[in-house]
Amino acid sequence: MRTNRLPVVILAVLAMCPLPIVSSANPQTDARLKKAYRFEQGGWTYVHLEGSPADIGFQHGYLLAREIQDAFQAIQLQMTHDAKRDWQFYRRASREMLWPHIDSEYQQELQGIVDGLKAQGVNLDVDDLVSFNAFEELPSYYVPWLNKKEKTANAPHPVPPGNCSAFIATGRMTKAHQIVLAHNNWTSYLAGSRWVAIFDIAPRGGNRILMDGFPGVITSDDDFGINSAGIMISETTITQFEGWDPNGKPEFVRSRKALQYAKSIDDYVRILKEGNNGGYANDWLIGDRKTGEIAYLELGLKNTPLWRTHDGYFVSSNFARDERVLAEETRFDSHDLSSSPNARRVRWEQLMNENKGKIDVVMAQQFLADHFDSFEKKQQANERTLCGHVDVVGKGIPEWDWNPYYPGGAVQGKVTDSEMTANMSLWARAGHPCGQDFVAKDFLELHPEYEWERSVLRDMRAGPWTTFSAAQKTAR
């Protein structure tokens, strides 16, 4: 594929000019919208979607049109800036490579989102939307693979970011001897300030889903969710992973399908592995509240080891634990304890060992807000703490190509346990789990090197820990 580059300044101008929203559908009379609704609570937008794939998509696009339009412009700018590929490149990759491998059900849902957006006057097409849904896959997995394959001269080498800190524990590790699952999303503040949707999805086929998510994306994408079959999932990204299969199925499809249809850990693992394209390679934390069993799937492209237990824990912070995955599919140094993934791994192990038999959802919330630097052995919010604040760090995170003072880190947190999952509910906190705010204007005054983000970088205010449940009608 030939690369056409669009200057970042033009994209920034476009991002400052949102499209007008003029609705051509009536929620009172359009049958597709009668069962769908949204409300705001605790810094989150809760969205209930129900029905056929096309109806769920239409509801999603219609109810979140403003948020999708805004998020699309921000992500489009980030994708074109980081990989130095223009938007037409991504559209072509989505149309020619990804779309043919998307299940019909999700093709219908994606088209439904486009139809819902158009009913609100937002003119994106399916190629735009598929590219947008693949924002964790195309720039950091496909582009490096393609650059290497085509021997592209002077090409940047974007690397997969290390998204998230998480743990899952069960048996004698927890206070009630039930599963406890916790996760905070690490990403750019550009994306993270918009990663504040709670989706309650009642599809015509499969399980009911309650998950956090990103406007316009059909899966959670930072991947925290539960389903009505008692499956509880999360993940963190494998740092410096390399690999891509152009004939595989997009990760955003596989992860959505797994949460929608899995009734067991084995189901979830099988669906994730079917058609694995190597995109968004993650360490998956999976629990089954029905059995109390938890599992850890390291989903590489060549290697996919799985660990399971009814009595213990798994922690994850963007490190690969399997020696073959490390050696054959990453460039990551697992011995450098000053690096963010390794330092957070040490801290997770400390917290697990210190709190065996006491872990519950309240303690899990405290873990996600933790600011202890295990390398320097002191309290200080930075790139090595579970609640990450890279914007205050002169080092940045070289392993992810995050430069000094990069505006990124932990952008929200979620917690649930077996009992909450049985009731289809979870805790969530928007913004830094520690409660600190990020103010874009103040940051840009100190760090003009990120001026290119000004048009889309916005404040990230921390909300309170808030509970959400499936079928919830209003804020409470």
The pLDDT value recorded for residue 349 is: 98
Average pLDDT over residues 340-354: 98
* Alpha carbons within 13 A on the beta-carbon side of 429: 27
For the chain, give the percent of residues with pLDDT over 90: 91
Burial (CB < 10 A; 0-12, 13-18, 19+), residue 205, is: exposed
Q: Cα(57)–Cα(217) distance, rounded to whole angstroms? A: 10
Q: What angle do CA 314, 320, 323 make, to 5 degrees?
A: 110
Residue-wise pLDDT tens digits, 50-105: 999 999 999 999 999 999 999 999 999 999 999 999 999 999 999 999 999 999 99
Residue 355 tokens, joined: 């709190």
Q: Cα(364)–Cα(65) distance, rounded to whole angstroms? A: 34
132 backbone φψ class: left, alpha, beta (φ>0; ψ -120 to 50): alpha
Q: Cα(401)–Cα(293) distance, rounded to whole angstroms? A: 36
The pLDDT value recorded for residue 21 is: 58
pLDDT at 11 over 90: no
- CB 460, CB 438: distance < 8 Å: yes
Q: Cα(124)–Cα(121) distance, rounded to whole angstroms? A: 9
The pLDDT value recorded for residue 198 is: 98
Largest CA distance in the chain: 61
For the chain, give the percent of residues with pLDDT over 70: 95
The pLDDT value recorded for residue 5 is: 41
CATH number belonging to the domain at 165-469, selected among 3.60.60.20, 1.10.3210.10, 1.25.40.20, 3.40.190.170: 3.60.60.20
Distances (CA, A) of 361 to 19, 41, 63, 107, 375: 42, 20, 31, 37, 27
Comparing 11 with 382, which gets the higher pLDDT?
382
Residue 468 tokens, joined: 């959400």
Residue 194 tokens, joined: 């918009």
The pLDDT value recorded for residue 4 is: 42
Residue 264 tokens, joined: 């067991």
Residue 51 tokens, joined: 């029905």
Residue-wise pLDDT tens digits, 239-269: 999 999 999 999 999 999 999 999 999 999 9
Report which of 99, 74, 13, 415 is spatially closest to residue 216, judged by C-alpha positions: 74
The pLDDT value recorded for residue 314 is: 98
Residue-wise pLDDT tens digits, 287-333: 999 999 999 999 999 999 999 999 999 999 999 999 999 999 999 99
- Tell me the sheet residues that pair with 428: 414, 466
The pLDDT value recorded for residue 158 is: 77
Lowest mean pLDDT among 15-29, 128-142, 144-158, 195-209: 15-29
Average pLDDT over residues 158-164: 81
Q: Cα(374)–Cα(380) distance, rounded to whole angstroms? A: 10
Residue 354 tokens, joined: 């210190």
Distances (CA, A) of 192 to 61, 319, 355, 376, 410: 20, 21, 30, 27, 8
Residue-wise pLDDT tens digits, 102-157: 999 999 999 999 999 999 999 999 999 999 999 999 999 999 999 999 988 877 77
Comparing 18 with 124, which gets the higher pLDDT?
124
Q: How many residues does the chain have?
A: 476
CA dihedral 212, 214, 218, 222 (to 10 degrees): -60
